Chains A and B, each alone.
Chain A
């Protein structure tokens, strides 16, 4: 009896050891897998930034192009992780013309880039390129996470260039203690960090993200992986996520400094007191249709940080959508494909139409004529 029990436990031990070595082997020498597979062309580039234009998967039924602006932290391809988990492919399948910004990996020469360079430089130039190419006055801007905050800044400064604004898990009000990042950032001596590093290392930020829940992110996740690694698909999905999590570009120092100080520490943006490039950002200048999308269980960008977007703008046509998922679940979870993307598309489709005979200029001309006619009638 005792012998059987010992043999049983030894078998279990051996089995676990085999699993562990196999898992370690997969992580050390991962099989080939790809991310960001939706076909695209690089249509514009400036310094490290590249503007990607995705090839349509169906006939374009919504002519107003959508520009996706992702955060500087981690990489944009979380929105296109794999064909069946791709926000970008989902939008293409619904007939949208999709562009995305890839910020690249900043190096020493980028350490002095400011938020002004990103917002009034790179984003502005990408938007101008798309406007010129599509012959439209304005396009749809979809800002994701920190990219959403940048999109708010851009739209407030250049409202004439944005037809619709979608903020996707984007923070605006940083004065909250619902997320650890908000608590930590308040005590961060950002000057010392930026002055020493120049380009703030991606690993430094990654360490912060892992500390959000160290036991689950550094142990439990891998135990779970060992238990599910017999399925090839599960392994590939896991490796894709791992690649994305640890693919952390450094941060341009001056931008990081300003973002931490003005947003996280002084919370200036929501108070309409933040200044970039010598211009104050007044969010009430945002009057176009706005869709504010957030995740109910977001541990990085809590709802308290995103909800105020809807109130801060002066748009008459505005809507808030909250989905019962987490931050990452908004990009790659099953809800992302089945609920989030379709609802965004439902909202955006009727707002992405232009008149049959022309472009937005034509619409503008018609509106102007209408206003003139009304004023003549009033004068009479």
Chain B
């Protein structure tokens, strides 16, 4: 797979968004469109995030496809002697060659800076997309239904942590003063 294809698709998508903004998008700038415009902007941001995720995911898929091909070629070279009909005993040998070759080839790749960098990008775009999902879920469902959101629970957890820490410090001081320690 060619990575350039995804980049050009992304370019096309960005151009489409810009054109929209410059034409029909002007309608959304009317004051009366306020809340709807905000929502629409958020949704557009979502598209962009999911596009990034798709792009980084496809980069990874492409890497692993190339890697599998490389491993297969290496295996073919190693198993070149095993021509003709393969007996069950030889199947085991073939399996061993397969595991060894694939394992070594993959490990070699996983050790490379290229994998570390690509997987880092994928992880980053995955989390961005997840975060967006969470925001939308909170705004569209949880808040209107008056249900606690993750953000609010996190705030409570932080408060609880601080209180717990304070209690421990004070207990320690009380123990010191009362000579228990």
Contact = CB atoms under 8 A, between A and B. Distances in A.
Contacts, number: 73
Interface in B107-131: 107, 110-111, 113, 116-117, 119-120, 123-124, 127-128, 130-131
A186 interface: yes
Contact of A108 (B88, B117, B153): B153
A12 interface: yes
Range of interface residues on B (Cβ < 8 Å): 20 to 34
A219 B99 contact: yes
A109 B160 contact: yes
A40 B134 CA distance: 43
A360 interface: no
Interface string A187-205: 1110011011010000000
A223 B153 CA distance: 45
B99 A196 contact: no
Contacts of B123: 188-189, 192-193
A196 B131 contact: yes
Interface residues of A, number: 33
Contact of A109 (B106, B127, B157): B157
B116 A12 contact: no
A29 interface: no
A212 B95 contact: no
A212 B110 contact: yes
B124 A192 contact: yes
B168 interface: yes
Given A189-B123, A189-B124, A193-B123, A215 B130 contact: no
A81 to B, nearest CB: 26
Given A192-B124, A196-B127, A183 B95 contact: no
A15 B94 CA distance: 19
Contacts of A307: none
Interface string A75-86: 000000000000
Contact of A220 (B99, B117, B128, B162): B99
A41 B137 CA distance: 45
A215 B102 CA distance: 7
B161 interface: yes
A111 interface: yes
A113 interface: yes
Interface in B152-173: 153-154, 157-158, 160-162, 164-165, 168
A121 B113 CA distance: 37
A213 B168 contact: no
A12 B91 CA distance: 12
B73 interface: no
Contacts of B127: 189, 192-193, 196
A184 B113 CA distance: 8
Given A189-B127, A198-B154, 14 more contacts: A108-B154, A111-B161, A117-B165, A177-B111, A180-B110, A183-B116, A186-B116, A192-B123, A193-B127, A198-B157, A211-B110, A212-B110, A213-B106, A216-B103
5 contacts: A111-B154, A189-B127, A212-B107, A214-B103, A216-B99
3 cross-chain pairs, A with B, having the tightest CB-CB distances, nearest first = A112-B161, A187-B120, A215-B103
